[in-house]
Amino acid sequence: MDLISSWMGNIPEFAVPFALAALGLIITEKSGVLALGAEGLMLVGAVAGIGAYLTFEHTALALIMAMIAASVVSLLFALMVLVMRMNQVISGLVLVFFCQGLTTLTGTLMGWTNQPVPGLETIAFWPLSELPYLGRFFIQNPVVYLVPVIFLVSVWALNRTTPGLRMRAVGENPQAADAAGIPVLSYRLAAIVIGAALIGLAGAFIAVLSTKLWISNMTAGRGWIAVALVIFARWSPWKALAGAILFGCIEALIPQLAASGIKLSQYFVFMAPYAITLGVMIWVAASKRDSNSQPGALGTPFIREERT
Amino acid sequence: MSDFALQRPLTKRRYTLEVRQQMAWHWQALILAGSMILGLLISGTILVVAGVPAGELLNEFVILTLFDSQSLTSVLFQASPLIMVGLAGCLAFRAKFWNLGLEGQMIFGAIGATAITMWDIGAPSMRLPLMIAAAMACGLLWAVAPVLLRLKLQVNEIVSTLMLNYIAINVLLHLMYGAWKDPKDAFPYSPKYESFELLPELGNGLSLSIPIAIGIALLVLWFVNISRAGLYLRFVDKSPKVASAVGVPVAKTILMAVLFSGALAGLAGLMVAAGQEGRLTHSFYVGYGFSGILIAFLARNNPIAATCAALLIATLFVAGRSLQVFYQIPFAMVQLIQAVLVICVASSDFFIRHRIRRVQGGD
C-alpha cells in the first residue's frame, strides 16, 4: 500500500516532461515540419534552467529562461529547414548533436554539474489529495497543475482559432495554403519556436523540478521517446497526454522496483523504457489503426519556386 | 529600369530565390571551401570562448595534428573506425533507411568480438579472424530487427534504431560492471586482450585496421557502383515505387544494404576495441554513431568522399583528445564542431542550388 501510494506520487514527475515535449512536437509537426530535435532542445532547456537558477536564484524565472533558450536554439533549426531547405531528418539530428555538444560544454565549463537546486514547494490539491492510494498523485509542484491548462489552451488554439487552423492547413497542404495567401514559412517558424519553448520547459522540468541538479546528457533519450509517443498518439494532443501518463507510470515504477529489493540487474531495469517504447511502436504498427492522421506535408520542405 | 528600382524604399524591393539549373564546378568548389572556412572560423571562435588561447589554436590543431608524424599516424589510426561507420551510414542511407543504430551495432560488434576472447574460442592463430567474423555477425544481427520491422510493419526506423542503441548501451554497462569486468582493474573495463587478439601493427605505428578500412571502402565502392545490387540500390534511392514496378526486388535490396551497414558498424566496434583500446570499455562507442551519420551526409553517400570526410573527422577526434588533456575541454567540443561544420557545408549546398535575385519593377 505504501508502495502504491509513493508510486502514485512519482507518476506526474515522470509524465510531465513526456507530455510537454510531445505537445511541443505535435505543435511543430502540425505545421508540416518533422521535428526530431526534441532530445537536443530538452537538453538546452535543462542546462539553461539550472544555469538561470544558479545565477538568479528564482525558479519561475529559470523555467522561463529555459523556454526562451530552447526557442532561440530552435531558430537554428528553423534556419536549416525553412531557409536552407535541408533534409529535415538530418537537420533534426544535427540539432541534437549540436545541443549535446553545446550543453555539455556550457554546463561543464560553467561548473554547473551536480549543483543542487531547491525546486518548488508542492501544493496539495485538496480534497483529491486526501484520497486513499491516489492521494499522493495530487500533491505536486505547481507546474504539474499547469500542464492540463497548457494542453487545453493548445488544443483550443489548434482547433478553434484562425492562426491554429491556418497552421494546420500549412501542415496539410502548403501549396493550397500559399495560394490562399497564408505565409507558409512564417507559420512554420512560429510553430517551431512555440514547440521548442514547450520542449525546453520539459527539459527544465526534469533538471530544475525533478532531479534538481544538472549532469551532461541528463535527458537520456526522453526526447526520442517523446518522438515515438507522438507517432503512436497519431498527432493527437490528448492521446499524447494519455501516453505520457502511461510512460510516467512505467518510469515511476523503476525506482519502486529497486526499492522493493527485486533482484534484477539495474541495467536491465534502465533499459525498460526503451524496450517498452519499441514494444509499443511494434504493437501500434501491427494493429494498423487509422494511419492517415499524420500531417499531410510532414517532412517536405515548402519551395514556392518549385511548385508543381 | 534600375533608377526605378533605386527609388523604391528598401522594404518594397522584392528578392526571390531561384533554383539554379547548374553551376560551374569551380564555383561549387569555391563555395564549398568558403563554407568550410566559415565553419572552421566559427569553431575557432567557440574554442577561444571556451578558453583556448587564440595563438595556440593553429599550433594545436593544424601543426601538431597534421605535420607531426606521430599525430598523423594517430589520425590515420583514428580514421579507420570512422571510415567504417561512415560507409555503414552511406549504405543504409542509399536504401532510404535512416540507420541511426550505428552506435548499437558497433557496441554489439565489439561485444561479439570480446565474447570470443572471453570464452577463448578457437586457436590463437584463428582468433583474430574469428573475432572479425563475430563482430560483423553481431553488428548485422543488431540491425535485423529494425529493418524487418520497417519492411513488414512500417515501424519508423529512426525511433526503433535509436531505442536499440539505448538498449545496447545498457547491455554493455551490464557486462562491464558485472560478468566481464576485469577484476584487476578499478574501471569498468574488460580484461586486456591477448597479444594475438589485437589488430597487429605493420611497422611505423600503422595498424592493420588502416588497410582493412581501405579494402572495405573499395569493396563498398564496387558494391554501390558496379554490382547489380548497387544498381538496384540506386533505383530504390530514386523511387521505390518505380523500382518495384520495373521488377527490382525492393525489400531484398533494402534488407541487404542495411545488413551490410550493420556488419560494417560491428567491424568499427572491433577496430576500436581490438585496435585502439585493446579491451572492451564502457564508453568506447561515444561519438561514433552520430559521426557516421554526419560523414555519410557530408559525403552525400559516396564511399570515396566518405573516406575523405572520415579523415577530416578523425583529425577533429585526435585534436579534441589533446584539447581534453591540455585544456580540460570536454570531448563534447568535437560534437559541437562537427555539427557546426555540417551546418556550414549544408548551407553551401543551398547557395550552390539557389541564387538570390532582386525582382525589378512591379510587385
A232 touching chain B per CB within 8 A: no
C-alpha torsion angle, residues B291, B296, B300, B301 (rounded to 10) = 180
- Identify any residues that bridge with B16 across adjacent strands, giving them in sequence order: B357
Task: Give the tens place of pLDDT for each residue, B121-160.
Answer: 777 777 888 888 888 999 999 999 898 888 888 888 888 9
Write out pLDDT tens, residues B182-226: 777 777 777 777 777 777 777 666 777 788 888 888 998 888 888
- Chain A residues within an 8 Å CB radius of B167: 271, 274-275, 278
Put simply, the chain B residues between 4 and 23 with a CB less than 8 A from any chain A CB are 16-19
The answer to whether residue A84 neighbours chain B at the CB level (below 8 Å) is yes
The reply to whether B234 falls in a domain is yes
Is B235 inside a domain boundary? yes
Which residue in A94, A216, A231 is closest to B159 by CB distance?
A231
Is A83 at the interface with chain B, CB within 8 A? yes
Task: Please give the mean pLDDT across all residues of chain A.
Answer: 83
- Which A residues 51-80 touch B at CB under 8 Å? 76, 80
CA distance A287 to A307: 36
If we measure between CA atoms, which residue out of B338, B314, B333, B340 comes closest to residue B52?
A: B333
Q: How far is CA B96 from the centre of its chain?
A: 16
pLDDT at A201: 92
Question: For the ranges A28-32, A228-232, B161-165, B277-281, which has the lowest average pLDDT?
Answer: B277-281
Please report whether residue B156 resides in a domain. Answer: yes
pLDDT band at A72 (very low <50, low <70, confident <90, very high): very high
Q: What are phi and psi of A178, to 5 degrees?
A: -60, -45
Q: CB within 8 A of B151, min separation 6: which ones?
A: B251, B254, B255
Q: What percent of chain B has pLDDT over 70?
A: 91
B179 touching A, CB under 8 A?
no
Whether the CB of B200 is below 8 Å from some CB of chain A: the reply is no
B50 touches A at CB < 8 Å: yes
Does the CA dihedral B330-B331-B337-B342 come out positive or negative? negative
Domain assignments of chain A as residue spans, ordered by start = 15-223
Residue written as cell 514556392? A304
Question: Which tens digits make up the pLDDT trace of A90-108?
Answer: 888 889 989 988 898 888 8
Is the model's pLDDT at B7 over the cut of 70? no
Say whether A227 and B149 touch across the interface (CB within 8 A). Answer: no
- Closest Cα of chain A to B152: distance in Å? 9
How does pLDDT run across B247-259, given as a tens digit for each residue? 888 888 888 889 9
Domain assignment present for residue B23? The answer is no
**CB-based contact, A224 to chain B, within 8 Å:** yes
Test A94 with B343 for CB contact under 8 angstroms: yes
Q: Do A216 and B332 touch (CB under 8 A)?
A: yes
SS3 at position B354: strand
**Residue B261: strand, helix, or coil:** helix
Tell me the nearest-neighbour CA distance from B163 into chain A, angstroms: 5
Contacts of A94 in chain B (CB under 8 A): 294, 339, 342-343, 346
B207: three-class secondary structure by DSSP: strand
Contacts of B345 in chain A (CB under 8 A): none
Helix (H, G, I), strand (E, B) or coil at A32: coil
Whether B334 is covered by a domain: the verdict is no
What's the pLDDT band for A120 if we cut at 50, 70, 90? confident
Q: With CB atoms and an 8 Å threshold, state whether B330 touches A105.
A: yes
Residues 6+ apart with CB under 8 A from B239: none
Tell which residue, A205, A277, A255, A200, has the closest CA to residue A38: A200
CB of A270 less than 8 A from some CB of B: yes
Kindly state the average pLDDT of the residues A161-185.
86
Across the interface, which of B18, B166, B335 has its CB nearest the CB of A97?
B335
Contact yes or no for A227/A34 (Cβ under 8 A) = no
Q: How far is CA B240 from CA A5, A218, A295, B227, B231, in A?
A: 53, 39, 22, 19, 13
- Is B143 part of any domain? yes
Burial, B87: exposed, middle or buried (Cβ in 10 Å; 0-12, 13-18, 19+)? buried
Cβ separation A94–B294 shorter than 8 A: yes
A261: phi then psi, degrees, rounded to nearest 5:
80, 20
Q: Which residues of A touch B300 (CB under 8 A)?
A: none
Q: How many CA atoms lie within 13 A of B73 on its CB side?
A: 11
B351 in a structural domain? no
Contact status of B38 with chain A (Cβ, < 8 Å) = no
Domain that holds residue B120: 81-308
pLDDT value of position A263: 65
What is the C-alpha separation between A194 and A25, in angstroms, rounded? Answer: 10
Integer Cα distance of A304 and A176 in angstroms: 11
Percent with pLDDT over 90 in chain B = 9
Alpha-carbon distance A153 to A138, whole Å?
21
Q: With an 8 Å Cβ cutoff, is B246 touching chain A?
A: no
User: What value of ipTM does the predicted structure carry?
Assistant: 0.85
Contact list in A for residue B340 (CB cut-off 8 A) is 98
Tell whether B120 is within 8 A of chain A (Cβ): no
Residues of B in contact with A90 (CB under 8 A): 293, 297, 342, 346
Which is more confident, A231 or A255?
Answer: A231
CB atoms within 10 A of CB A3: 12
B45 touches chain A (CB under 8 A): no
Nearest CA in chain B to A282: B155
Find out whether A164 and A158 touch, Cβ atoms under 8 Å. yes
Listed as own residue / partner, the contacts of B125-132 with beta carbons closer than 8 Å and 24 or more positions apart are: B125/B196, B127/B194, B127/B196, B127/B197, B128/B196, B128/B197, B128/B199, B128/B274, B131/B197, B131/B270, B131/B274, B132/B267, B132/B270
Residue A226 contacts B where some CB pair is shorter than 8 Å: no
Give the integer Cα–Cα distance in Å for B267 and B284: 13
Which of B93, B342, B348 has the most A C-beta neighbours within 10 Å, making it the best mutation to test the interface with A? B342
Q: How far is the CA of B28 from the CAs of A204, B23, B31, B302, in angstroms?
A: 43, 7, 5, 17
If you average pLDDT over residues A239-244, what whole number do you get? 89
Nearest 5°: phi and psi at A140? Answer: -135, 170
The backbone region for B302, taken as left when phi is positive above 0, alpha when psi lies in -120 to 50, beta otherwise, is beta
B18 by Cβ neighbours in 10 Å (0-12 / 13-18 / 19+) ranks as: exposed
B166, part of any domain: yes
Name the residue among A105, A227, A274 with its Cβ closest to that of B166. Answer: A274
Residue B260 has pLDDT above 80, yes or no: yes
Nearest CA distance, B159 vs chain A (angstrom): 6
Q: Using CB atoms, which residue from A108, A220, A268 is nearest to B330?
A: A108
Q: Which of A224, A265, A278 sits opposite B174 (nearest CB)?
A: A265
Give every CB contact of residue B181 below 8 A, 6+ residues apart in sequence: B188, B189, B190
| Number of structural domains chain B divides into | 1
Which grid coordinates belong to A124?
496539495
CB atoms within 10 A of CB B194: 12
Contact across the interface for B346 and A216, Cβ inside 8 Å: no
Tally of CA atoms within 13 A in the half-sphere of B131 that contains its CB: 33
Among A103-112, A253-262, B90-99, whose mean pLDDT is lowest?
A: A253-262
Q: Which of residues 326-345 of B touch A (CB under 8 A)?
A: 329-330, 332-340, 342-343
Q: Please name every residue paired with B201 in a beta bridge, in sequence order, or none if there are none.
A: B207
